[in-house]
Amino acid sequence: MFRCGFGYDVHCLVSDRELILGGVKIPYSKGLSGHSDADVLIHSIIDALLGALALGDIGTFYPDNDLAYKDIDSRILLRKTYTLITEKGWKLNNLDAVICCQEPKLQPFINAMRANLALDLHCAIEQISLKATTEEGLGISGKGEGISAFCQLLLVKD
């Protein structure tokens, strides 16, 4: 038995925050604005995991008006979500994600992000595909106003 999930997230870039993607601190003059650490990649993965089992979205489980989640490390939320998924008898088969970001260049950090995700999702790094792209100057990421991420994944019954 299989279940497919899709997730998307976007946050604005601001000058007073660290940039964290896939749990990796990226050296850059701006970071993402949000209630938590605003890690758009992990947020898109959480939405995909929850969506695969029709459980709602990240805001259902971790509302942005709950002080318990203020500035929280999104990897904590990812691990908590994956525990919920595994308790329901599912596990990750594979994950494919894209980060849309004009700057900074993310290629040097992709493998560290993949390693974090594999650790948090209890799988091999080969089950995690992660790509970064620019939007050629178009849209919120292309204009350097924000960063977005898309994730599609497949769960299998354990």
Q: Annotated binding site for a divalent metal cation, which residues?
A: 9, 11, 43
Beta bridge partner(s), residue 98: 131, 150
With beta carbons less than 8 A apart as the criterion, state whether 8 and 134 touch. no
Distance CA 55, CA 52 (A): 8
Q: CA dist 136 to 129, 141, 142, Å?
A: 22, 9, 6
Per-residue buried b or exposed e for 81-93, using 16+ beta carbons within 10 Å of the residue's own CB: bbeebeeeebebe
Classify the phi-psi angles of 45: left when phi > 0, otherwise alpha if psi is within -120 to 50, otherwise beta: alpha
Per DSSP, 145 falls in state: S
Binding site per annotation, positions = 9-11, 35-36, 43, 57-59, 133-136, 143
